[in-house]
Amino acid sequence: STTIPGSLPVNAESCWPKDIGIVALEIYFPSQYVDQKELEKYDGVNAGKYTIGIGQSKMGFCSDREDINFFCLTVVQKLMERNSLSYNCNGRLEVGIIIDKSKSVKTVLMQLFELSVNAESCWPKDIGIVALEIYFPSQYVDQKELEKYDGVNAGKYTIGIGQSKMGFCSDREDINFFCLTVVQKLMERNSLSYNCNGRLEVGIIIDKSKSVKTVLMQLFELSGHYALVAGNVAVYATGNARPTGGAGAVAMLVGPNAPLSFERS
């Protein structure tokens, strides 16, 4: 079989780790709290509304020396230290906060990981698009004709938005067909097993991402490194948005040793 940059060995499935799950866990709660029985009295509600109703006996709150950054720094550092782990062992950091401070908290947490001197040397090089497959329907609207039909200046669509043709679906095509086509062709033309993909991302302007991904998973059947899919079918009513419509899909493999690589920030 053909080996392309960023591809995995044929026997990748046998190398795939089993029993993926929580290996270790660290929790932190502040020492200061409100007793929920007292809060029930203070709020004038029935006894047990908080303690039994939501099963909570204490409600913690920050001191003047604590905040969300402190909490997250504490649990991450303790988790690594108690399990004798190097920060180099972590390849991805995800932060979830109800109030959307996820980005700022992650920025703070990265200070811990940046302290690891050898982290840079362990990072795969030239991460980027390894292979790409595109599909456009054969039926289209000529944008020059649409300019005439809409009564706009010549070149408004062809020069203004740089589009000569606007594709549209036949009665045998839809967004699922587009995405299935590009994914299947991408894998076949690069002689790749679906087990080589550990993640599938689907991007659709109209939010059908979940349903499209469900259809695509029939190909993968939960097999396992990196795939990214984007597709769209856009039909707009008469107006400024109409010429920006179209239909198509693209599938990309993202992995190491790519001929088109991203800058690492």
Please report, in angstroms and rounded to a whole number, the separation of the first and last CA atoms in the chain: 35
- Dmax of the chain from CA atoms? 75
Please write the tens of the pLDDT for every residue from 75-113. 888 888 887 877 776 666 777 766 655 567 888 888 887
Residue 54 vs residue 149, higher pLDDT? 149
pLDDT at 152: 92
Distance CA 78, CA 96 (A): 18
Structural domain that includes position 19: 12-122
Indicate whether 227 pLDDT > 60: no
Dihedral angle sign, alpha carbons of residues 200, 203, 207, 211 = negative
Distance CA 265, CA 260 (A): 16
253 and 132 share one domain: yes
Last residue of a domain, one of 122, 154, 176: 122
Last residue of a domain, one of 93, 122, 151: 122
Distance CA 7, CA 95 (A): 29
160 and 82 share one domain: no
23 and 86 share one domain: yes
Asked if 256 contacts 125 with a C-beta cutoff of 8 angstroms, the reply is: yes
**Proportion of the chain above pLDDT 70, given as a percent:** 65
In angstroms, the Cα distances linking 253 to 23, 45, 61, 133, 189 are: 29, 57, 45, 9, 12
Domain count, the chain: 2
The band of 240, judged by pLDDT with boundaries at 50, 70 and 90, is low
What is the domain-level CATH number for residue 193? 3.40.47.10
95 and 190 share one domain: no
Distance CA 39, CA 137 (A): 63
CA torsion 114-118-121-126 (nearest 10°) is: -10
Give me the chain's average pLDDT, please: 76
Last residue of a domain, one of 61, 91, 122: 122
Return the structure tokens found at 126: 């030239």
Please write the tens of the pLDDT for every residue from 2-39. 444 444 444 544 544 455 667 788 888 888 888 889 98
Name the nearest CA neighbour of 182 among 226, 209, 216, 138: 216
Distance CA 265, CA 244 (A): 32
pLDDT at 223: 47
What angle (nearest 5°) sits at the alpha carbon of residue 199, between those of residues 193 and 202?
105
Q: What residues does 247 pair with on adjacent strands?
A: 233
40 and 114 share one domain: yes
Indicate whether 118 pLDDT > 80: no
Please write the tens of the pLDDT for every residue from 147-187. 999 999 999 999 998 989 999 988 888 888 998 999 999 99
Helix (H/G/I), strand (E/B), else coil: 217 = helix
112 and 136 share one domain: no
132 and 239 share one domain: yes
